[in-house]
């Protein structure tokens, strides 16, 4: 699930600046798209689709149409004289960043981490003996050397219990179609074992080693001879592979009774004696959990209706469960491995004011990150005594909690203005200790402030907004602004650093992030208030946030930009069709627009537990009421729109972007461009190479500046 952006554009005369991008958009040739009406019926309701033929990506006619659309889009960007200079500055900002790290695991005295340092195209898996200076690292696997074109990505990796071997899931061109490979940690040597088809964008993928490191449990999709082609991205199961044996000899473990849209995540206890399988029922946020003992016997711990969202192994032969049963903001339970009756679990941390977001058991207590509407705080709950707050950055996000030895906690901390870094803390310390794993950026944000305000939605609900802008910004309605949103799947938009926003702020821009219903910022009730038949609440929230920025004179309808992607692209489509007059331009990445046919795609079926299904009459009515594709009206002056998408996207079919492009181009009465931008070597966004990401980001900024009339003279002579 990745995010997109809707952008507002304004003319130089309105901006009142000197040398600026040309007023209006470059004149582009029109592409006539054939209408071939097809009628689909839902519960007696006939729905005509003029562009259903654009769903067939393999059709020569569709390929030719897509090629011509991309040529038109490239023509648009090639006419922007400042684009190359903008790309150079973006590239330099990113290249000047120091390495960023993701801590993965600690096994056999080896700390495994991903390290990303431009100009490398992909992150590298490294082994560390310490996270403190000098923090010497050894490369375990480098996808940039494995494939020098930067198209190979590590989806995930998992080390064996002794740290001697690591299993890595690799995919190509952002496809997330993963193949499991095995490597020796010390030498980096690839083992001959290769397991295909362990991951797809539908149900994801996972693996966990056996205790002795001679074999691995992994997620397996049906083979060609086991189910019809239409089912080969569903019905995920757990299988076991013994190293050194053929994949054909692998053995079944569990999953034949799982739902068609099961998504399995595997994790082993530190000693490898226990294996936990967390099984999601599609993308709606409900989980069942299964535990495998050393004897090989499986035991079902929880069911979907139990409200258990996560389980972790503790150092004390116990399980720690995050429950939202009668606790929508979360509570943490403890269940001994000697008594696996969920009814016997004891409450360790009751529901608190914020949302219990992330947690990790320690030797003498429990560390908990508590989210408060987006930003989070960090607490230590000792086994005996009162909770202790761990100092973190103000208005920041805390994550990646690891506790490998005793009470030593390692966690990441970042804010909108401070790059991410990893820190150590344990009871008795006054301040967290910075590790060597700190990202640094030449982009300085000392002149930027973060303001927290609340918009009032249609039904009176207060919606948080984090608003970033230069200190002393005049609230005169003349500032170009970006409003970003997502609102779905219980995903929370938390503070995150992005060095390239420096370019936007230097152009006088405002950047706002909306914490909409459908997300998880205020717990499960907040999520449920924006899913299934309640999805319109999300759109109302976003509209209210746009109106708030305008009413408070941060910007105006002539200067407002909105952005979102994936589920956030659906948000953009709904905003665009419901309130087109509120924004001048839109960037909507990898979005969903036809809500009546989305579940026909493999991953769309997984989304039915979040969005609903046309098979259910009440849910069909709700979907039809807001489906963006079906609410584009002839003769409306729509804002400028950029639709970036990837041809290998297995999460959202790029046909959505093709159909929405055709529909808007035919309907709009304005002269603002409707642009389709398709990348052949990219998918939903995960695993994209650095060069692909920079090129797309450059086009997004260039589109924004051109349509808003932002001063671009600084980039003209670079």
pLDDT in tens, 93-129: 999 999 999 999 999 999 999 999 999 999 999 999 9
* CA gap 567, 619 in Å, rounded: 17
SS3 528: helix
Give mean pLDDT, residues 342-362: 96
* CA gap 491, 676 in Å, rounded: 27
pLDDT in tens, 565-579: 999 999 999 999 999
pLDDT value for 606: 96
Give mean pLDDT, residues 299-320: 97
pLDDT in tens, 50-61: 999 999 999 999
Residue pair 422/131 in contact by the 8 Å Cβ criterion = yes
Angle at the Cα of 280 (from 278 to 566), degrees rounded to 5? 130
Q: Would you say residue 172 lies in a domain? A: yes
Residue pair 685/646 in contact by the 8 Å Cβ criterion = yes
262-268, strands of its sheet edge to edge: 262-268, 275-281, 287-292, 298-302
Q: Give the domain-ending residue among 306, 328, 354.
A: 306
- Give the pair of three-digit tokens for residue 547: 């109106």
Q: Would you say residue 434 lies in a domain? A: no
Residues 67 and 173 in one domain: no
**Contacts for 339 with CB less than 8 Å, ≥ 6 apart:** none
Query: How far are the Cα atoms of 144, 161, 263, 282 from residue 238, in angstroms, in the given order?
Result: 30, 19, 11, 17
| pLDDT at 5 > cutoff 50 | no
Residues 575 and 700 in one domain: yes
Exposed / middle / buried, residue 148 (Cβ in 10 Å: 0-12, 13-18, 19+): exposed
Residues 179 and 38 in one domain: no
- What percent of the chain stands above pLDDT 90? 93
Q: Would you say residue 9 lies in a domain? A: yes
* Catalytic annotation, pick one of 556, 566, 657, 689: 566
Give mean pLDDT, residues 527-551: 98
pLDDT value for 713: 81
End-to-end CA distance of the chain: 36
pLDDT value for 158: 98
Residues 170 and 32 in one domain: no
* Catalytic annotation, pick one of 171, 278, 684, 688: 684
Residue 181 known to be catalytic: no
| pLDDT at 4 > cutoff 70 | no
SS3 436: strand
CATH number of 235's domain: 2.130.10.120
pLDDT value for 22: 39
Give mean pLDDT, residues 275-285: 97
DSSP codes joined into one string, 286-314: -EEEEEE-TTS-EEEEE-GGG-EEEEEE-
pLDDT in tens, 64-90: 999 999 999 999 999 999 999 999 999
Residues 625 and 691 in one domain: yes
Longest dimension (CA), the chain: 75
Residues 54 and 161 in one domain: no
| pLDDT at 642 > cutoff 50 | yes
CB neighbours of residue 192 within 10 Å: 8
| pLDDT at 546 > cutoff 50 | yes
Nearest to 446 by CA among 467, 471, 466: 471
Residues 70 and 160 in one domain: no
Q: Would you say residue 465 lies in a domain? A: yes
Q: Would you say residue 77 lies in a domain? A: yes
- Give the pair of three-digit tokens for residue 33: 């798209």
pLDDT in tens, 151-189: 999 999 999 999 999 999 999 999 999 999 999 999 999
Q: Give the domain-ending residue among 306, 334, 358.
A: 306
Task: Say how many residues make up the chain.
Answer: 718
Residue 364 known to be catalytic: no
Question: Quick one: DSSP state of residue 229?
Answer: G
Residues 536 and 627 in one domain: yes
CATH number of 68's domain: 3.40.50.1820
Residue 307 backbone zone (phi > 0: left; psi -120 to 50: alpha; other: beta): left
pLDDT in tens, 661-716: 999 999 999 999 999 999 999 999 999 999 999 999 999 999 999 998 888 887 77
* CA gap 378, 32 in Å, rounded: 56
Residues 78 and 187 in one domain: no
Residues 170 and 77 in one domain: no
* CA gap 531, 206 in Å, rounded: 27
Residues 73 and 167 in one domain: no
Give mean pLDDT, residues 228-240: 95
Q: Would you say residue 49 lies in a domain? A: yes
**Contacts for 367 with CB less than 8 Å, ≥ 6 apart:** 359, 360, 378, 379, 380, 381, 390, 401, 403, 409, 411
pLDDT value for 716: 73
- Give the pair of three-digit tokens for residue 411: 């966690």
pTM: 0.94
Q: Give the domain-ending residue among 243, 272, 306.
A: 306
Crossing angle of helices 567-578 and 536-551, rounded to 10°: 70
Residues 86 and 157 in one domain: no
pLDDT value for 715: 76
pLDDT value for 412: 98
pLDDT value for 24: 55
Mean predicted lDDT score pLDDT of the chain:
94
Q: Would you say residue 132 lies in a domain? A: no
CB neighbours of residue 132 within 10 Å: 13
CB neighbours of residue 637 within 10 Å: 11
Q: Would you say residue 114 lies in a domain? A: no
pLDDT value for 569: 97
- Give the pair of three-digit tokens for residue 472: 């002393």
Q: Report how many domains make up the chain.
A: 2
Domain that holds residue 186: 150-306
| pLDDT at 613 > cutoff 60 | yes
């Amino acid at each position: 699930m990745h995010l997109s952006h809707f952008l507002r554009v304004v003319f130089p005369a309105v901006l009142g600046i000197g040398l600026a991008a040309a007023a209006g958009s470059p004149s582009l040739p029109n592409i006539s798209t054939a209408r071939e009406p097809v009628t689909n019926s839902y519960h007696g309701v006939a729905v005509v689709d003029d562009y259903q033929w654009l769903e067939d990506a393999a059709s020569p006619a569709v390929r030719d149409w897509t090629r011509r659309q991309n040529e038109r889009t490239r023509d648009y960007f090639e006419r922007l004289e400042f684009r190359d200079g903008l790309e150079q500055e973006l590239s330099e900002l990113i290249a000047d960043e120091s390495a960023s790290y993701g801590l993965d695991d600690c096994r056999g005295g080896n700390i495994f981490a991903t390290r990303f340092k431009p100009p490398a195209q992909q992150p590298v898996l490294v082994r560390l003996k310490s996270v403190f200076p000098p923090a010497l690292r050894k490369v375990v696997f480098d996808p940039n050397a494995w494939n020098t074109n930067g198209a190979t990505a590590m989806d995930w990796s998992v080390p064996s219990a002794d740290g001697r071997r690591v299993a890595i899931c690799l995919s190509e061109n952002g496809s997330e179609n993963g193949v499991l490979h095995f490597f020796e940690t010390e030498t980096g040597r690839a083992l001959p074992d290769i397991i295909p088809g362990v991951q797809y964008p539908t149900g994801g993928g996972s693996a966990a080693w056996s205790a002795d490191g001679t074999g691995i449990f992994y997620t397996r999709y049906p083979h060609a001879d086991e189910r019809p082609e239409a089912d080969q991205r569903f019905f995920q199961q757990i299988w076991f592979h013994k190293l050194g044996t053929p994949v054909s000899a692998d053995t079944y473990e569990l999953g034949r009774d799982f739902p068609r849209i099961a998504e399995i995540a595997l994790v082993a206890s530190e000693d490898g004696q226990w294996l936990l399988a967390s099984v999601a029922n599609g993308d709606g946020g409900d989980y069942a959990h299964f535990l495998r003992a050393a004897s090989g016997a499986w035991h079902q711990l929880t069911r979907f209706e139990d409200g258990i969202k996560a389980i972790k192994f503790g150092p004390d032969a116990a399980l720690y469960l995050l429950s939202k049963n009668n606790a929508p903001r979360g509570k943490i339970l403890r269940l001994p491995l000697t008594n696996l009756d969920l009814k016997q679990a004891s409450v360790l941390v009751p529901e608190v004011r914020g949302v219990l977001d992330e947690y990790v058991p320690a030797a003498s207590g429990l560390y908990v990150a508590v989210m408060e509407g987006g930003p989070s705080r960090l607490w230590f709950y000792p086994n005996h005594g009162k909770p202790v707050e761990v100092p973190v950055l103000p208005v920041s996000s805390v994550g990646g909690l690891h506790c490998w030895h005793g009470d030593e906690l390692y966690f990441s901390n970042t804010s909108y203005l401070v790059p991410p870094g990893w820190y150590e803390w344990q009871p008795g310390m006054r301040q967290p200790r910075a590790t060597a794993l700190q990202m640094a950026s030449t982009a300085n944000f000392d002149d930027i402030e973060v303001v927290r305000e609340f918009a009032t939605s249609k039904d009176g609900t207060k919606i948080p907004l984090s608003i970033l802008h230069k200190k002393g910004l005049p609230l005169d309605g003349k500032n170009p602004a970006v409003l970003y949103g997502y609102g779905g799947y219980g995903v929370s938009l938390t503070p995150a650093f992005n060095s390239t926003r420096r370019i936007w702020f230097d152009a006088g821009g405002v950047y706002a992030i909306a914490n909409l219903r459908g997300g998880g910022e205020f717990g499960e009730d907040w999520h449920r208030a924006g899913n299934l038949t309640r999805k319109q609440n999300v759109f109302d929230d976003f509209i209210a946030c746009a109106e708030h920025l305008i009413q408070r004179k941060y910007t105006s309808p002539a200067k407002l930009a909105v952005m979102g992607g994936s589920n956030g692209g659906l948000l953009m489509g709904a905003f665009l069709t419901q309130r087109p007059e509120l924004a001048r331009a839109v960037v909507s990445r990898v979005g969903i627009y036809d809500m009546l046919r989305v579940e026909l795609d493999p991953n769309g079926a997984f989304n039915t537990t979040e969005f609903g299904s046309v098979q259910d009459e009440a849910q069909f009515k709700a979907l039809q009421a807001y489906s963006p594709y079906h609410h584009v009206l002839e003769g409306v002056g729509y804002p400028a729109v950029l639709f970036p998408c990837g041809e290998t996207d297995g999460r959202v079919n790029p046909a959505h972007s093709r159909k929405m492009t055709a529909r808007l181009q035919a309907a709009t009465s304005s002269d603002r461009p409707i642009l389709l931008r398709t990348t052949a070597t990219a998918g939903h966004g995960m695993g994209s190479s650095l060069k692909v990401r920079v090129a797309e980001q450059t086009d997004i900024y260039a589109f924004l500046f051109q349509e808003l009339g932002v001063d671009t003279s600084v980039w003209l002579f670079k």
